[in-house]
Amino acid sequence: MQLLGNRRFITKVVIVVVLASLGIFVLLPTFYLVSFTLTRWPEVYADVFANPLIGDANWQQILRYLTFSLRLSLIAVILDFLFGIPLAYFLARKQFFGKSLLEDIITLSLVIPTSGFGVATLLTWTGVSGLGALIGRGIVEASFVIPLINVPLLMLLVHVALTFPYIVRTLQGKLEDLEPAFEEASRTLGASAFTTFRKVIFPLSLPALFSGGVLAFARSLGETGATMVVAGIHTTAPMAIVRWVSEFKLATASFLGFLLIITATIAILLVDFLLRRDGGFKTLGFSMTPRIGDTILKLEKAFSGKVRWLKDFVSLAVVAVVVILPIIIVLISVGAYWSVDPDTGKIQGSVLYQLFGPSNYFATLMKATLASIFVAVIATYIAACIAIPSVYLIKRYRNGRILRYLLRIPLIVPSSALGLSVLLLWGPSGLNLGTPGIWLIILTHIVFSVPVVMEPTIAAYEGLNLLRYEGVARTLGATPYDAIETVSLPMLKRGILAGVILSFTRSLGETGATFLVMGSDVTVPPLVVNMVESLAFSAALFASAFLIALSLVLLLLFRIVARR
């Protein structure tokens, strides 16, 4: 009895500790901006809507940036669906040589530091050493805006490249789980491949499509690093937050951050509501008149024949152009810019000069690399310590679902809003626990790292039926803790590992939030943005190639570990 009592007590302590750290490290910083904005509403109102000097000019700006960001994200997600769905289907159903390489390339744009990728894209489309080498000048101006949809081309390219993997990954996983019998049944009943997709596969994978879509949308809405690099004269909402904080316009910045958090939260709630209502099955199931239906059937039949390869080809080509090409070009260009700027022929524009010349960017880069790795290691470690027991809380207790809900929000909150929230909470104007610098960066990264570690772990948990195996261990005489340690944790290893790697690389590449809390402890991604803004383009080029190479090595390590 004594033993049992002890065990219950320990369980309670563990639960309290985990809940407390979740609250302090993750939830409080996420939502602080909301309460900050609401509690200081008069101040915010005065600054945003009734500024004595400029009236509601700040509000007008907020509206402009916000609508621009929403438009950009929406179009990016639509393109993601367009290219991601065929790609996911292709990957889930076909076995071919080089498949795992293609999967790696798709994962790559999830782990790649975005500001480096921004440099790569900028160079590819506007520089003379990129695609421009073919025609002797840049393909497009950096600020080129696509007519009709009114969105800058480069930004759209970057956002599609950085967000389509969310669609591909979630959908591919779902399709691989889907019993092939459904598809086969449809085919034997006389439906063509496209009809089968529309009537069976698509409705069954709607939940995955929705959740992938939300992640992609949120990521695009919050993207800062690459966006700042390719922005030219345009400003997105998260960029505006960074700028306003540096101009000490905290009230306006926090109101915009507040709006971003609300938007992201509504997106999650809306999708969840749609899915819960009828499993999402009928959400898109519009009915049509028989004649149109028959025409569609005929078209699908025709397309299922000879032109089927076309959709695979197009989506693969998109991956090649928006992801692979920029990465290759940035790696090659380091060589081209090594000792002289090929554009102007000046030595001042070369990688060597900018790294080791008067501005000595090399030392700064090395210092930033150390800071980046330090932050990533500490933040990921703490996040894993909080996330793994949290998974148990979520899966074992009935109210765990609410917790999971709450913990998905930091994942989709735009990172500059998050950074601002942390700055206001822990920083000098809040609880004053630290001045901007490396510890504040770590506190910020923990916020999004916990859910990043948690999601793949939960996915692994759900696929494993761990309760059964733990039950077996218990019948063989293991205590609950023994069962977790000897059975569950080893089985969850791959999920945890995937989460840790994702969290590490995300921390390594994080730009938006870090900008706000870093003080003088610069990490690499903001450094790249700074280099671009101070026109040290060759140094930025080198740092980008360096970052990309670093994440490639990490990905390689991950594959080696995962295979074991």
What minimum distance in Å lies between the beta carbon of 315 and other proteins? Answer: 22
Q: Which of 58, 192, 421, 507 binds other proteins (CB under 8 A)?
A: 192
Rounded CA-CA distance 328/322 in Å is 11
189 lines the binding site for other proteins (CB under 8 A): yes
The secondary structure element, H or E, covering residue 255 is helix 250-278
Residue with tokens 């790795």: 373
> Among 22-30, 78-86, 174-182, 338-346, which window interacts with other proteins (CB under 8 A)?
174-182
> Among 291-299, 404-412, 453-461, 464-472, which window interacts with other proteins (CB under 8 A)?
291-299
Q: Which of 167, 200, 214, 250 binds other proteins (CB under 8 A)?
A: 200
Rounded CA-CA distance 295/285 in Å is 17
Q: Which of 4, 100, 179, 344 binds other proteins (CB under 8 A)?
A: 179
What minimum distance in Å lies between the beta carbon of 305 and other proteins? Answer: 9
Within 13 Å and on the Cβ side, how many CA atoms surround 488? 25
> x/- contact string, 298-317, with other proteins (CB under 8 A)?
x-----x-------------
State the first-to-last Cα distance of the chain, in angstroms, to the nearest integer: 43
CB 548 within 8 A of CB 330: yes
345 lines the binding site for other proteins (CB under 8 A): no
Name the residue nearer to other proteins (CB basis): 96 or 248: 96
Q: Which of 190, 345, 477, 490 binds other proteins (CB under 8 A)?
A: 190
What minimum distance in Å lies between the beta carbon of 277 and other proteins? Answer: 14
What minimum distance in Å lies between the beta carbon of 181 and other proteins? Answer: 4
User: What share of residues in the chain are helix, strand, coil (percent, to 5)?
Assistant: 80, 0, 20
Convert 398-449 into a string of H (helix), E (strand) and C (coil).
Answer: CCHHHHHHHHHHHHHCCHHHHHHHHHHHHCCCCCCCCCCCHHHHHHHHHHHH
What minimum distance in Å lies between the beta carbon of 180 and other proteins? Answer: 9
What minimum distance in Å lies between the beta carbon of 190 and other proteins? Answer: 5
Q: Which of 105, 128, 140, 297 binds other proteins (CB under 8 A)?
A: 297
Could you tell me how many helices (H) and strands (E) the chain has, helices first? Answer: 28, 2
Rounded CA-CA distance 425/419 in Å is 10
Q: Which of 63, 185, 269, 288 binds other proteins (CB under 8 A)?
A: 185
CB-neighbour burial class of residue 520 (10 A; exposed 0-12, middle 13-18, buried 19+): exposed
Name the residue nearer to other proteins (CB basis): 141 or 177: 177
Rounded CA-CA distance 504/375 in Å is 9
> Among 133-141, 213-221, 294-302, 497-505, which window interacts with other proteins (CB under 8 A)?
294-302
Angular region, 174: left φ>0, alpha ψ -120 to 50, beta rest: alpha
Name the residue nearer to other proteins (CB basis): 55 or 279: 279
Structure tokens at 216: 């992609």
The contacts of residue 244 (CB under 8 Å, 6+ apart) are 250, 252, 253, 256
> x/- contact string, 85-124, with other proteins (CB under 8 A)?
----------------------------------------
Residues in 257-286 that interact with other proteins by CB under 8 A: 279, 281
Which SS3 state, helix, strand or coil, does residue 538 take? Answer: helix
> Among 157-165, 192-200, 210-218, 251-259, which window interacts with other proteins (CB under 8 A)?
192-200
Q: What residues line the site for other proteins (CB under 8 A)?
A: 179, 181-182, 184-193, 195, 199-200, 203-204, 279, 281, 290, 293-294, 297-298, 304
